[in-house]
Amino acid sequence: MSTPAFSAPQGESPALLAAWREDLPASVVVFLVALPLCLGVALASGAPLLSGVVAGIVGGIVVGAASGSPLMVSGPAAGLTAIVLAGITQVGGFPRFLPAVILGGAMQVALGAARAGVIGYYFPSSVIKGMLAAIGLTLILKQIPHAVGYDADYEGDFAFVGASGENTFGAIGSALAQVQPGAIAVACIGVALMVWWPRSPMKQIRLLPAPLAAVAIGVGLNELLLALEPTFAIRGTHLVTLPTTGVGGVLSQIARPDWSALRDQQVWMLAATLGIVASLESLLSLEATNKLDPDKRDAPANRELFAQGIGNMLSGFLGGLPVTGVIVRSSANVDAGARSRLSAIAHGVWLIIAVLALAPVLNRIPLAALAAVLLVTGFKLTTPSLWKSAWRLGWSHFIPFAVTIVAILFTDLLRGIAVGLVVGIGFIIAEHMRRPALTKVSPPGAVLTRYVLPDQVTFLSKSNLMQTLDALPAGCRVEIDGRKTTRFDYDALEALLEFRDTARSRNIDYRLVGIPETALTPAH
């Protein structure tokens, strides 16, 4: 009997309920990280601010409930901002863009049903680890300006050239030239607190994780500065800026899909792009989250595509941005001690409460306090032990790892992964080409030299195969046994058969056993 495509892990419901003491505090941390990211991605995408929050809510509650991953958190992703920004302009506005999100989600559901999630397993481990390290480094570099009170680029921007036109390093230079003492104090105290917390008795308070304490102290410190030394206080755009319009105002700002856009061929092309890119980003995030999971649980990829597709269909219908699995939020979830999907689901509930009731309170949170949380999260993603491990595994692992990091730092997430993947595949091909295509099995000094072919003889074996055959001495007797080979590529098979002509001119007794010849015989 076949296994269902979207089967749920056994015992999942009890685990969901049993871990609430860890999951609820972790959900608050994820919420604090996700809120400015949702707003920032919407701003960078040229979409209404609330569309990012809607996507975060759907990614938390809907995708979190449908997903098989216990720790991955979904929401609007920085990796899609360029596609979304261009798409909104191309199809003529955000309402006409929403049907493309819905269609892209339907495509993801179809991909999950077709078991296309297996694609995620074909990304080399070196590229996945490089992606994690690069995200960690990017987080650190991108959060330095926010930590010192320079917020020219939106929170969560991952592109090398930001929305302000400055690249990552230029933004750091500009930030250091105009620092705010209050922001530096909030960020430094937050980082110090998070480093000290696991080594202190405070770690026993499971309902108060270190990131939440760091944000709370950041708010308190800034309120103290406002009262005692207003010139040092953090104000305006350096704080979280959640719309404060109340329930009626929120509902009135939510966009609705313009279904007439379905007659536009560009909408369908955009939907295909969103479906493919969002699926790849989610599968990559799933693989990375699996590696971060302390319990090393392997979440089902096909079920994840299904969950992401349902999430995108609903997000588009409710006026939200496209949804993908997001490694930054997932990493914060792991660091905060989450154990099950309850954390992702609960963070979506906190987003609803925040929009409807808590905006005035949350708008007092300095971005420097959130920067402290993300700086520590970034360091945990790119620890020295990860680099040492990649180095010890040799050049074939370290070079794709390092290239992925550099490419992501100087482009963006998806382009960087593509470059790393090409380099990783190059090393795999080179290693395969160096592998002997013929294994000598006859004893030394035997009159007949016997070789055995491997189970797979591909076009990559042709070079090694021809070098071995060309090196045979004139007048020798050779037998090549292909009875254990299950697959012959045409190029390699052609080389084996055509060598008989060369062997005859060199007086080599050349015999093939178990090697099909009919594939090269012309039909008459």
- Average pLDDT over the chain reads 87
Helix %, strand %, coil % of the chain (to 5): 65, 5, 25
Query: What b/e readout covers 16-42, taking b as 16+ CB neighbours within 10 angstroms?
Result: beebeebbbbbbbbbbbbbbbbbbbbb
Residue range 137-165: average pLDDT? 85
Tokens representing residue 3 in the block: 């296994």
Banded pLDDT at 108 (limits 50, 70, 90): very high
Residue range 298-312: average pLDDT? 94
pLDDT for 210: 86
Give the C-alpha separation, 38 to 33, whole Å.
Answer: 9
Does the CA dihedral 53-55-58-61 come out positive or negative? Answer: negative
Contact 132, 291 (CB under 8 A): yes
pLDDT for 15: 56
Q: Is pLDDT above 60 for 520? A: no
Residue range 416-424: average pLDDT? 90
Banded pLDDT at 456 (limits 50, 70, 90): confident
Condensed to tens digits (0 to 9), the pLDDT of residues 22-45 reads: 899 999 999 999 988 898 888 888
Among 159, 208, 215, 165, which Cα is nearest to 186's?
A: 215
pLDDT for 11: 40
Q: Dump the DSSP string for 293-339.
A: -TT-----HHHHHHHHHHHHHHHHHTT----EEEHHHHHHHHHTT--
Of the two residues 53 and 413, the one the predictor is more confident about is: 53
What separation, in Å, do the N-terminal and C-terminal C-alpha atoms of the chain show? 45
Among 275, 276, 247, 254, which Cα is nearest to 95's?
A: 254
> Where do the H-state alpha helices sit in 180-209?
181-196
Q: Is pLDDT above 90 for 454? A: no
Of the two residues 164 and 166, the one the predictor is more confident about is: 166
Highest mean pLDDT among 11-25, 115-129, 318-332, 406-420: 318-332
Question: CA angle, corner 244, sides to 238 and 245, nearest 5?
Answer: 150
Banded pLDDT at 388 (limits 50, 70, 90): very high
> Where do the H-state alpha helices sit in 209-300?
210-228, 246-253, 265-292
Q: Is pLDDT above 80 for 6? A: no
pLDDT for 17: 62
Residue range 245-250: average pLDDT? 66
Q: Is 80 helix (H, G, I), strand (E, B) or coil?
A: helix
pLDDT for 3: 43
**Quick one: what percent of the chain has pLDDT higher than 90?**
46
Q: Within 13 Å of residue 364, how many CA atoms lie on the same side as its CB?
A: 14
Give the C-alpha separation, 37 to 324, whole Å.
Answer: 13
Condensed to tens digits (0 to 9), the pLDDT of residues 188-232 reads: 999 999 999 888 888 777 778 888 899 999 999 999 999 998 888
pLDDT for 103: 97
Q: Is pLDDT above 70 for 482? A: yes
Among 524, 470, 523, 522, which Cα is nearest to 495's?
A: 470
Q: Is pLDDT above 50 for 163? A: yes
Looking only at the bridges linking them, the beta strands covering 324-326 and 73-75 are antiparallel
Q: Is pLDDT above 70 for 307? A: yes
Of the two residues 163 and 230, the one the predictor is more confident about is: 230
Task: Tell me how far the alpha carbon of residue 225 is from its chain's centroid.
Answer: 39
Q: Is pLDDT above 70 for 519? A: no
- The residues near 319 (Cβ < 8 Å, ≥ 6 apart) are 48, 50, 51, 54, 98, 254, 255, 256, 257
Banded pLDDT at 355 (limits 50, 70, 90): confident
What domains, with CATH codes, occur in the chain?
18-179+243-365+383-421 (no CATH), 439-520 (3.30.750.24)
Instruction: Give the full edge-to-edge strand order of the sheet including 448-452.
Output: 439-440, 448-452, 477-481, 509-513
Condensed to tens digits (0 to 9), the pLDDT of residues 55-73 reads: 999 999 999 999 999 999 9
